[in-house]
């Protein structure tokens, strides 16, 4: 693909690159990619199918491939398959309890489930197929929108809160570049925004591992091999961004972006966590999505919003590092009291969820993080003892905010909250950035900012300056 690495669809070569160690096995069965790859669908179904029907799960959104109706093409190729539409007529599917139940019922008795559509549709298929012993799952990617097609995780809505849940790998992933080209350009470009997380999330993962190591309920420790799988291709992402702008993105750029997204999903899967691709930028985006859903407002494409939030995360990293250069790490961390955190979380989420369920869900996760941080004394001692070494690693992972903003602009993506298709106002942006560390138990730069006193109002002002 790039940098001398293996072709992204060659799973055997990827297994050799990843090696053994304590990593989880790469459970993705097969990747079929390229122009016309959709033609392989009937053969894959025949190969993987268990006893029972073939059921196709999709949203109501019309899908095209090279000018053809994708539903008609799939139904013709899969004679006798049941096509089941999930979610509302506008295609805005959410992986909530009701939709998961409807999908499980629709797929009852299936020997093979085929998901055709968005990352959310794929997440639903990966979730319900856990309950179906012997059933096989084939995911047909229809856009370069997210990295969730190739991993064993699903983002589900639990009590209104987005939660990443371990599910299963697809038995096969089918990536037809003709199908990708038929997706709305803004949806394809969203994947480039999602991939910008590599420049901030990996630093968060390294930080969490340095501070807490591996604790009960925490993420696996940082692994250079997994980080390098995607981060070594970072220059290619920045370079190909220009090919994604305009009304018709360059097909070669789309294909390469699909490869990067697949590698990102594989990295999360073998690492056993979404931490290699999801840090502060995703926490901010999740909160914005939760607020939009709770308020009945239209949201932005996940990846498009993540791209903007990655600029914010990069700005937060720059401010934190600057404060550490000024001696902020020399003082012991002052951990907040659990009761104070509970009250803060309740205040933060009261407006979008008066029932209190969302606040309770977030506090349950944050309390686990707080317990781990308090277990070993000053959680910043390990950083303080070897800061020069840690700083060198972080400098190799991070990219300056201006570079990220420039790449987003060249891809035709917004780099400010105010420029999103559904603009995020200053108050909502501030709410999300301020409260993002309270949303989950994963430790990241926003937590470090709080511990060193760099998460105060003036710090948030500096991070958001010019973004809203």
Cα 320 to Cα 315: distance, rounded to the nearest angstrom? 9
C-alpha dist (Å) from residue 369 to 202, 413, 426, 454: 19, 34, 28, 19
- pLDDT at residue 1, rounded to an integer: 34
**Count of Cβ atoms closer than 10 Å to residue 13 Cβ:** 14
Q: Which residues pair with 34 in a beta bridge?
A: 176
- Calpha distance 258→145 (Å, rounded): 9
**CA dist., res. 327 & res. 325, Å (int):** 6
Q: How far apart are CA 206 and CA 21, in angstroms?
A: 18
Name residues whose C-beta falls within 8 Å of residue 317's C-beta, 6 or more positions apart in sequence: 200, 203, 394, 398, 445
* Res 300: pLDDT: 95
**Could you give the CA distance from residue 423 to residue 90 in angstroms, rounded to a whole number?**
20
What tens-digit pLDDT sequence spans the chain (468 residues)?
333 334 788 999 898 888 766 678 899 999 999 988 999 999 999 998 888 889 999 998 887 776 778 888 888 888 888 899 998 888 888 888 899 999 989 888 888 999 998 888 999 999 986 666 677 999 999 999 999 899 999 988 777 777 888 899 999 999 999 899 888 899 999 999 999 999 999 999 999 999 976 444 567 899 999 999 999 999 999 999 999 988 888 889 999 999 999 999 999 999 999 999 999 999 999 999 989 988 888 899 999 999 999 999 999 999 999 999 999 999 888 888 999 999 999 999 998 999 999 999 899 989 989 988 888 789 999 999 999 999 999 999 999 999 999 999 999 999 999 999 999 999 999 999 999 999 888 999 999 999 999 999 999 999 999 998
Helix pair 302-325, 198-212: axis angle to 10 deg: 50
Q: What crossing angle do the helices spanning 338-350 and 426-435 adopt, rounded to 10°?
A: 150
Question: What CA–CA distance (Å, rounded) separates 249 from 268?
Answer: 27
Q: Which domains can be identified in the chain, with CATH numbers?
A: 11-183 (3.40.50.1970), 189-220+273-464 (1.20.1090)
Residue at token pair 């891809």: 411
Pairing outcome for strands 136-141 and 110-117: parallel
What does the longest C-alpha to C-alpha distance in the chain come to? 68
For residue 146, the surrounding DSSP H or E stretch is none
pLDDT at 133: 67
Cβ–Cβ under 8 Å, residues 41 and 183: no
Q: What six digits make up the tokens of 304?
A: 């498009």
Q: What pLDDT is recorded for position 6? A: 40
Secondary structure of 324-389 in HEC code, one letter for each residue: HHCCHHHCCCCCCCHHHHHHHHHHHHHCCCCCCHHHHHHHHHHHHHHHHHHHCCCCCHHHHHCHHH
For position 411, what pLDDT does the model report? 95
SS3 content of the chain, % helix, strand, coil (to 5): 55, 10, 35
Count, in order, helices (H) and strands (E) of the chain: 21, 10
Give long-range contacts, CB 8 A cutoff, 24+ apart: 218-226.
Answer: 218/372, 218/441, 218/443, 219/273, 219/275, 219/442, 220/271, 220/272, 220/273, 220/275, 223/21, 223/23, 223/271, 225/17, 225/18, 225/19, 225/21, 225/23, 226/18, 226/23, 226/267, 226/270, 226/271, 226/276
| Residues contacting 296, CB < 8 A, separation 6+ | none
Q: What are the structure tokens assigned to 460, written together?
A: 């948030």
- Please tell me the distance from the alpha carbon of residue 316 to that of residue 380, in angstroms, as a whole number: 18
């Amino acid at each position: 693909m790039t940098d001398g690495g293996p072709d992204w669809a060659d799973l055997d070569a990827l297994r050799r690159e990843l090696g053994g160690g304590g990593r989880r096995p790469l459970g993705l069965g097969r990747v079929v990619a390229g122009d016309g790859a959709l033609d392989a669908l009937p053969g894959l179904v025949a190969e993987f199918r268990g006893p029972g029907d073939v059921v196709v799960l999709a949203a109501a959104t019309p899908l095209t491939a090279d000018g053809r109706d994708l539903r008609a093409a799939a139904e013709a190729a899969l004679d006798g398959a049941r096509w089941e539409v999930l979610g509302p007529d506008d295609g805005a599917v959410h992986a909530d309890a009701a939709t998961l139940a409807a999908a499980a019922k629709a797929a009852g008795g299936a020997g093979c489930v085929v998901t055709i559509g968005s990352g959310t549709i794929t997440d639903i298929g990966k979730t319900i197929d856990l309950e179906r012993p012997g059933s096989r799952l084939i995911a047909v990617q229809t856009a370069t929108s997210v990295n969730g097609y190739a991993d064993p995780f699903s983002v589900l809505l639990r009590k209104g809160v987005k939660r990443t849940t371990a599910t299963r790998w697809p038995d096969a992933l089918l990536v037809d570049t003709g199908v990708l080209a038929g997706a709305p350009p803004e949806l394809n470009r969203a994947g480039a925004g999602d991939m910008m997380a590599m420049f901030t999330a990996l630093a968060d993962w390294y930080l969490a591992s340095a501070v807490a190591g591996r604790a009960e309920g925490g993420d696996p420790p940082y692994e250079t091999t997994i980080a390098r799988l995607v981060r070594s291709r970072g220059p290619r992402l920045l370079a190909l961004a220009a090919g994604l702008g305009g009304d018709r993105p360059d097909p070669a750029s789309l294909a390469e972006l699909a490869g990067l997204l697949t590698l990102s999903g594989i990295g999360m899967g073998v690492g056993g966590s979404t931490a290699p691709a999801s840090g502060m930028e995703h926490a901010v985006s999740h909160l914005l999505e939760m607020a939009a859903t709770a308020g009945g407002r239209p949201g932005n494409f996940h990846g498009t919003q993540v791209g903007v939030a990655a600029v914010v995360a990069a700005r937060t990293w720059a401010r934190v590092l600057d404060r550490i250069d000024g001696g902020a790490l020399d003082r012991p961390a002052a951990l907040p009291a659990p009761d104070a955190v509970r009250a803060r979380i309740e205040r933060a989420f009261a407006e979008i969820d008066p029932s209190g369920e969302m606040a309770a869900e977030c506090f349950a996760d944050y309390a686990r993080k707080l317990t781990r941080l308090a277990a070993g004394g000053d959680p910043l001692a390990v950083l303080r003892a070897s800061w020069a070494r840690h700083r060198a690693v972080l400098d190799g992972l991070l990219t300056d905010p201006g570079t990220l903003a420039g790449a987003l602009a060249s891809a035709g993506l917004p780099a400010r909250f105010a420029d999103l298709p559904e603009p995020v106002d200053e108050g909502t942006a501030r709410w999300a950035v301020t409260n993002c560390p309270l949303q989950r138990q994963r430790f990241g730069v926003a937590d470090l900012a709080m511990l060193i006193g760099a998460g105060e109002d003036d710090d948030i002002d500096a991070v958001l300056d010019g973004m809203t």
